[in-house]
Amino acid sequence: MEEQLRIILIIITLVSIFGLIVFIFVRNYLKIKIEYLVKQQKKNKNLE
């Protein structure tokens, strides 16, 4: 029973770490993309 609990805790920990890393990458990607789109929109407004 102790071995199973240890394996379950390791799996939960690894999945949590992986999820956190993916979340950080997606958040940074979206932040960069939004900043780029805002710059493009401001540039288009200045041209009009």
| Full domain range(s) for residue 5 | 1-48
Split into its structural domains, the chain has a count of 1
pTM, two decimal places: 0.71
| Model pLDDT, residue 47 | 74
Instruction: Tell me the residue length of the chain.
Output: 48
Per-residue confidence at 34, pLDDT binned at 50, 70, 90?
Answer: very high
Output the six-digit token pair for 13.
């920990």
Q: 31-46 as b/e, with b when 16 or more CB fall inside 10 Å?
A: eeeeeeeeeeeeeeee
- Using CA atoms, how far residue 20 sits from 12, 14, 16, 33, in Å, is 12, 10, 6, 20
pLDDT band at 48 (very low <50, low <70, confident <90, very high): low
